[in-house]
Amino acid sequence: MAKQEISDSLRAERARYVGLNAGSSAKHEEAKRWLPGGDTRNSIFWDPFPIYVSRAEGSKIVDIDGNERVDFINNMTTLILGHRHTAVIDALREQLEHGVSYPAPTPLVVEWGELMCERVPSVDKIRFVNSGTEATLNAIRAARAFSGKTMLAKCEGAYHGNHDAVQISVTPVVGMAGDAESPDSVLMTRGMTPRSADEIVIMPYNDLENAERVIREHADELAAVIVEPINGQCGMVPAEPEFLEGIRRITSELGILLIFDEVIAFRASRGGAQEYYGVTPDLTCFGKVIGGGLPVGAFGGREDIMSLWDPSGAGGPQVAHAGTFNGNPMTAAAGVATLKELTVDVYDELSEKGEYLRTRLREVISEMEAPMGVTGATSLFAIQATSEAVRDYRSYATNDGDLLEMVFMGMMNEGYLLSSKCAGNVSAAHTYEELDGFVEAFERVLRRAWDS
């Protein structure tokens, strides 16, 4: 399909979207009066304007225009049980009767911590925060305090939160990012000091040979290597088992701490991606799923590392960590309720649905000979607008942005909600009928473009 034809199809889908969402358009104009560009969360903004939500239930979300869509974003993978799951709502209502926050801990946070430590192989102790960003920030601080070193290694194309230690080489311009085998450290936003890039080294994802070389070259300086076992930024791209196994072997040999960012990847199994892969890190970062839909983050790991935060000694904690809403009872209630619902059977069913959806999408792409692909693992998936097999950032960067946006807009118009980069996830609330409907809508979107 020619570039001009894709552009024409994108314009047609945009026009259809504008016509369906007059109320959201007006609300966005109002939002611009008070919020910069009408936005307070970049990841849910898209051109020409986002939809504004009025309510949601189960697998469906309804906007202020009354349009109902099947939700395959689930607040960026958070709502693994779907919207307003009965157990979560009941737990929140019960806690609401007793108060929303206190200047002291509650029994719920103890139960929450026990559930996490019992499930996740590497977690002896855990601390709760309010976002994935806070989780990675504190895990990195712990690694530096424990090791006495300052440098960090991360993969190109990996997002680990909105702080200076990791807002580097997330979505760099390929022509300015150095060689694929040894990527440069590229700052991702204005306002960062150049020194931030000097405290991190970048390694390629799913390329063990070159990742090992980068790690060994900086072994004397590295406090930690941080890895996302399923790379969300590049389209839910799973780490190849030998890559994670190799990184664990190398870091263990060199005495470098290994941090898993499981803010998204905790969806992989009851014990997270580390149980799924059989690879045990030293520290793990969590978020999204574990809070049942409320703001949350957590970090945990080996007892000797986590003891840095023990406030009971004569000198108090060796590493600072505070937060007004850390472990708050509302999030703890939703988190405990969610974790109790997430049995092995639920995870197995989610993975089966995810595999079913990815397989059917690939069948449509193959039948239509579209220059596209599908990535993902367990309950996670993404549509890729490239004929290249996506396994790292450089292959992800070959995506046709207009084709991706055309699919996104087309699916919105068909009644299905994806991320603006066409990534998604299956929740326990999704039915196979809805999965089939998604695939059929995807085919209609492609045929509209291909037949135009």
User: Scanning the structure block, which residue is given the tokens 């988190």?
Assistant: 335
Q: Work out the average pLDDT over 123-142.
A: 98
Active-site residue (options: 63, 261, 392, 400)? 261
The yes-or-no verdict on residue 316 having pLDDT over 70 is no
Closest C-alpha to 160, from 123, 180, 188, 182: 188
Distance of alpha carbon 116 from alpha carbon 363, whole angstroms: 38
Q: Is the peptide bond before 48 cis (omega within 30 degrees of 0)?
A: yes
Mean pLDDT of the chain: 96
Closest C-alpha to 260, from 292, 233, 231, 294: 231
Asked about 347 being catalytic, the answer comes back as no
Q: What are phi and psi of 63, to 5 degrees?
A: -95, 180
Q: Work out the average pLDDT over 390-407.
A: 97
Helix-, strand-, coil-residue percentages of the chain, each rounded to 5: 45, 15, 40
Under a CB-based contact definition with an 8 Å cutoff, are residues 56 and 74 in contact? no
The yes-or-no verdict on residue 3 having pLDDT over 90 is no
Is the CA virtual torsion 199, 202, 203, 205 positive or negative?
positive
The pLDDT of residue 192: 94
Q: Which two tokens stand for residue 191?
A: 């306002």
Percent of the chain whose predicted confidence (pLDDT) is above 90: 94
Over its C-alpha atoms, the chain yields an Rg (Å, rounded) of 22
Is the CA virtual torsion 234, 238, 243, 247 positive or negative?
positive
Q: Which two tokens stand for residue 94?
A: 């019960």
Q: Work out the average pLDDT over 391-402.
A: 97
Distance of alpha carbon 232 from alpha carbon 434, whole angstroms: 23
The yes-or-no verdict on residue 256 having pLDDT over 70 is yes
Sequence-ordered list of residues with C-beta below 8 angstroms from that of 233, at least 6 positions apart, any chain = 157, 158, 159, 170, 171, 393
Which segments of 120-181 are extended strands (E)?
125-129, 151-155
User: Do the bridges between strand 237-238 and strand 230-231 make them parallel or antiparallel, or are there none, so unpaired?
Assistant: antiparallel
Higher pLDDT among residues 69 and 46, named by residue = 69
Q: What are phi and psi of 273, to 5 degrees?
A: -65, -30
Where do runs of H (alpha helix) occur along 181-319? 195-198, 208-217, 241-254, 272-277, 303-306
Distance of alpha carbon 132 from alpha carbon 275, whole angstroms: 20
Distance of alpha carbon 442 from alpha carbon 361, whole angstroms: 8
The pLDDT of residue 315: 65
449: confidence class by pLDDT, cuts 50, 70, 90: confident
Full set of structural domains in the chain with CATH: 3-80+343-451 (3.90.1150.10), 86-341 (3.40.640.10)
Distance of alpha carbon 242 from alpha carbon 244, whole angstroms: 6
Return the HEC string of 367-435: HHCCCCEEEEECCEEEEECCCCCCCCHHHHCCCCHHHHHHHHHHHHHHCEECCCCCEEECCCCCCHHHH
Distance of alpha carbon 261 from alpha carbon 258, whole angstroms: 10
314: confidence class by pLDDT, cuts 50, 70, 90: low
Task: Count the alpha carbons within 13 Å of 36 in the hemisphere toward its beta carbon.
Answer: 3
Distance of alpha carbon 370 from alpha carbon 359, whole angstroms: 15
Helix (H) or strand (E) holding 336: helix 329-341
Active-site residue (options: 27, 125, 288, 421)? 288
The pLDDT of residue 6: 85
Active-site residue (options: 17, 52, 159, 393)? 159
The yes-or-no verdict on residue 1 having pLDDT over 70 is no
pLDDT in tens, 207-248: 999 999 999 999 999 999 999 999 999 999 999 999 999 999
Asked about 288 being catalytic, the answer comes back as yes
**C-alpha distances in Å from residue 313, one per residue of 182, 306, 307, 326:** 44, 14, 10, 21
pLDDT in tens, 424-448: 999 999 999 999 999 999 999 999 9
Under a CB-based contact definition with an 8 Å cutoff, are residues 298 and 128 in contact? yes
User: Do the bridges between strand 222-227 and strand 151-155 make them parallel or antiparallel, or are there none, so unpaired?
Assistant: parallel
452: confidence class by pLDDT, cuts 50, 70, 90: low
User: Scanning the structure block, which residue is given the tokens 């149980």?
Assistant: 275
The pLDDT of residue 267: 96
